[in-house]
C-alpha cells in the first residue's frame, strides 16, 4: 500500500512511518517541523537525542535499504501543496497525526489557544477537502483522536467505541438510535479533537469518505522494534510540563531521584497504551477500512486504565522514588472511574504490552541512560487552565 503520514516526524508518527515501511508499504512523510520549533519556543528538548529528519531517513535507508519520502510543508496552511501531493502520490491510506497535541500547551495563553484551533481544525479540514477534490474515492483516512473527547464523568458506564445508543421519544413510541458520544472536552486541545469528529462525520456522510478515528489513550514508552535498530532512529521522549505525559514525567523524576509530582489527590483515572502497540494498532486500522458510504469507524485505542496515584505508587515501588502531591493546574474532577470498551482492536488481533511488562525497562533503558540531558526546571507543569492560578504548589502531603 502507499501510505502518506501527516506529522511523520512526531512521537507517534515517526515510529509508525518506520513500522509501515518495515512491513513493505511505500511510505511518505509530511511534516512542517512545528514540534521541533515548539521545543525552541519552550527552551526544552527531547530527553533522547533525536536526529534531524534528514539524518533519520538516511539511517533508515542504511539499516533497511528502504526509502521514505519527505515533504516539508504546513498541512493547515498550504492546501495546494497537499492537494498536488495527494494527486501525485495517490495514497491508499493517509494517517493524520499533524496536530498540536498537548493540552497544557493549548491552555498557555490566548495565542496558544488560537494557534491550536487554527492548526488542528484547518489541518483536518484541508485533508478532507483535498481528498474529495483529488477524487481519491477509496483512500482511507486514519486519524489519531483521543480518549479525552469523551470526558471522564461517565457515572460508571463503560465508554463505548464512539457511538452511544439512545432511545428517542417519538409520536410512535420509543425509537432506538446511535449518536456520536456527546463530547465533553477538558481543554482547547481536546475541544479541537471533538470538532474533528464532526468534520469526519460530515465528510463521511456527504462525500462518502472512508474514515477511521482512533480514540487513543495516553501513550507511554519510547522505542519500537524499528527505532531500536540504530541510535540515529531513536524516538523522542518528552518530559517537560507541557508535552511530557504523566507517566514519562514520573519515570524522569524517578531516574533523577526527584519526588514524583502527583497533581491534586491523583484520583484521576486515565487510559494508556504503549508506543509499540500504537504502531500495531495503526497498521491494523490501515488494513481494515470501513466501506464507502459507511459511517466513521471509531476504535478506542487503549489497552489499560490506571489511577494517577496508583501509577505513582507503581513507579515508586520500582525505583524507590518519593511521591509529592502538588496543586492541580488543570480544571478537572478530583477523582473519576474509567471503564472503556476496546474490543474492536483486540478482535483484530492486538496483543497488548502492559505497564507491568515494560515499565522497568523504560526506566533503565531511557530515563536513567539519558538523565544527564534533563533540565530539572522544565519538569513542573507551568500552564494553568484558569487565570490567577499558581501551578505546582504543594498542597496535600
Ligand atoms: P507530536 O507533536 O510529537 O507529533 C505531531 C507532528 O505533527 C509533529 O512532528 C509536528 O511537527 C507535526 N505537525 C503539527 N501540525 C502540523 C501541520 N499543520 N502541518 C504539518 N505537520 C504538522 O504528537 P504525537 O504525540 O506524535 O501525537 C500525534 C497525534 O496523536 C496527535 O494528533 C495527538 O492528538 C494524538 N494523540 C497522542 C497521544 C500521546 O500520548 N502522544 C495520545 C492521544 C492522541
> How far lies 363's CA from each of 138, 217, 254, 270, 367, in Å?
43, 20, 8, 20, 5
- Does residue 283 carry a pLDDT above 60? yes
**Helix intervals (H) in the chain:** 13-22, 34-42, 53-64, 79-89, 103-106, 110-133, 188-206, 246-255, 275-287, 308-319, 343-347, 355-362
* Separation between Cα atoms, residue 207 and residue 211, nearest integer Å: 11
SS3 at position 85: helix
Nearest ligand 1 atom to alpha carbon 218: 40
Q: What's the pLDDT score for residue 273?
A: 95
- Please give the Cα distance from 266 to 350 (Å, whole number): 29
Residues with CB under 6 A from ligand 1: 7, 9-13, 30-35, 74-76, 97-99, 101, 119, 123, 144, 146, 216, 218-219, 245
pLDDT in tens, 16-56: 999 999 999 999 999 999 999 999 999 999 999 999 999 99
Domains of the chain: 2-238+272-302+337-353 (3.40.50.720)
CA distance 66 to 72: 20
Q: How many CB atoms sit inside 10 A of residue 155's CB?
A: 6
Reported confidence tier of residue 329, pLDDT bands at 50, 70, 90: confident
- Note if 203 is an active site residue: no
ipTM of this predicted structure: 0.99
Average pLDDT over residues 289-304: 97
Pairing of strands 26-30, 2-6: parallel
Angle of the 110-133 helix axis to the 188-206 helix axis, nearest 10: 20
Strands 323-326 and 260-263, by their bridges, are: parallel
* pLDDT for res 387: 66
CB 296 within 8 A of CB 242: no
C-alpha span between 264 and 10 (Å, rounded): 30
Give the per-residue SS3 of 151-182: CCCCCCCEECCCEEEEEEEECCEEEEEEEECC
- Lookup: cell for 271: 487510559
CA distances from 366 to 81, 119, 239, 254 (A): 37, 31, 12, 12
Whether 79 sits among the annotated catalytic residues: the reply is no
Does the pLDDT of residue 396 top 90, yes or no? no
Strand partners, 173: 170
For residue 278, which of 220, 359, 361 has the smallest C-alpha distance? 220
The confidence score (pLDDT) of residue 397 equals 30
| Residue 47: DSSP 8-state | S
Mean pLDDT check: name the lowest of 209-218, 259-268, 360-369.
Answer: 360-369
What is the pLDDT, as a whole number, of residue 336?
81
Output the pLDDT for position 77: 98
Q: Model confidence over 335-394: pLDDT tens digits?
A: 888 899 999 999 999 999 998 888 878 877 898 899 999 998 888 777 888 766 655 443
Is 189 considered catalytic here?
yes
Q: Take atom 8 of ligand 1 and give the residue whose Cα is closest.
A: 10
Give, using CA atoms, the residue closest to atom 13 of ligand 1: 98
Length of the chain: 397
Alpha-carbon torsion (383, 385, 391, 394), positive or negative: negative
pLDDT tens digits for 80-112? 999 999 999 999 999 999 999 999 999 999 999
Its pTM stands at 0.94
Q: Which of 19, 73, 98 to mutate to test the pocket of ligand 1 (most atoms within 8 A of CB)?
A: 98
Binned at pLDDT 50, 70 and 90, residue 327 comes out as: confident
- Spell out a b/e string for 289-319, using b for 16 or more CB atoms within 10 Å of the CB, else e: bbeeeeebbbbbbbbbbbbbbebbebbbebb
Could you say which DSSP state residue 140 is in?
Answer: E
- Averaged pLDDT of the chain: 93
Catalytic residue among 79, 115, 189, 370: 189
**What does the pLDDT look like over 121-143, one tens digit per residue?**
999 999 999 999 999 999 999 99
* Residue position matching grid coordinates 502531591: 325
CB-based burial of residue 24 (10 Å sphere; 0-12 exposed, 13-18 middle, 19+ buried)? exposed
Amino acid at each position: 500500500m502507499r501510505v502518506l503520514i501527516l506529522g511523520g516526524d512526531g512521537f507517534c508518527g515517526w515510529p509508525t512511518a518506520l513500522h509501515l515501511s518495515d512491513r513493505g508499504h511505500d511510505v511518505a512523510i509530511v511534516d512542517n517541523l512545528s514540534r521541533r520549533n515548539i521545543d525552541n519556543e519552550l527552551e526544552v528538548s527531547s530527553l533522547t537525542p533525536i536526529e534531524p529528519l534528514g539524518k533519520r531517513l538516511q539511517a533508515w535507508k542504511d539499516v533497511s535499504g528502504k526509502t521514505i519520502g519527505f515533504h516539508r510543508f504546513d498541512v493547515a496552511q498550504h492546501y495546494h501543496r497537499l492537494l498536488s501531493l495527494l494527486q501525485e502520490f495517490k495514497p491508499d491510506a493517509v494517517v493524520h497525526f499533524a496536530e498540536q497535541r498537548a493540552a497544557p500547551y493549548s491552555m498557555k495563553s490566548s495565542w496558544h489557544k488560537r494557534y491550536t484551533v487554527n492548526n488542528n481544525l484547518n489541518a483536518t479540514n484541508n485533508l478532507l477537502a483535498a481528498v474529495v477534490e483529488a477524487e481519491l474515492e477509496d483512500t482511507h483516512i486514519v486519524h489519531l483522536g483521543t480518549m479525552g473527547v469523551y470526558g471522564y464523568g461517565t457515572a460508571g458506564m463503560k465508554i463505548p467505541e464512539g457511538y452511544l445508543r439512545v432511545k428517542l421519544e417519538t409520536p410512535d413510541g420509543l425509537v432506538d438510535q446511535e449518536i456520536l458520544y456527546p463530547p465533553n472536552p477538558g481543554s482547547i486541545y481536546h475541544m479541537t479533537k471533538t470538532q474533528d469528529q464532526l468534520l469526519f462525520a460530515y465528510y463521511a456522510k456527504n462525500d462518502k469518505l472512508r474514515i477511521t478515528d482512533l480514540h487513543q489513550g495516553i501513550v507511554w514508552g519510547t522505542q519500537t522494534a524499528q527505532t531500536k535498530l540504530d541510535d540515529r532512529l531513536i524516538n523522542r521522549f518528552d518530559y517537560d510540563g507541557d508535552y511530557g505525559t504523566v507517566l514519562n514525567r514520573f519515570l524522569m523524576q524517578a531516574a533523577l531521584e526527584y519526588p514524583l509530582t502527583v497533581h491534586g489527590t491523583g484520583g484521576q483515572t486515565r487510559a494508556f497504551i504503549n508506543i509499540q502497540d500504537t504502531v500495531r494498532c495503526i497498521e491494523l486500522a490501515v488494513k481494515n477500512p470501513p466501506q464507502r458510504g459507511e459511517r466513521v469507524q471509531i476504535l478506542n485505542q487503549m489497552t489499560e486504565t490506571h489511577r494517577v496515584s496508583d501509577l505513582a505508587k507503581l513507579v515508586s515501588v520500582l525505583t524507590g522514588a518519593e511521591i509529592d502531591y502538588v496543586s492541580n493546574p488543570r480544571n478537572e474532577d478530583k477523582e473519576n472511574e474509567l471503564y472503556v470498551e476496546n474490543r474492536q482492536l483486540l478482535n483484530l488481533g492486538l496483543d497488548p504490552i502492559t505497564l507491568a511488562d515494560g515499565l522497568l525497562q523504560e526506566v533503565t533503558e531511557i530515563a536513567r541512560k539519558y538523565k544527564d540531558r534533563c533540565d530539572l526546571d522544565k519538569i513542573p507543569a507551568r500552564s494553568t487552565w484558569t487565570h490567577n492560578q499558581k501551578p505546582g504548589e504543594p498542597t496535600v502531603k
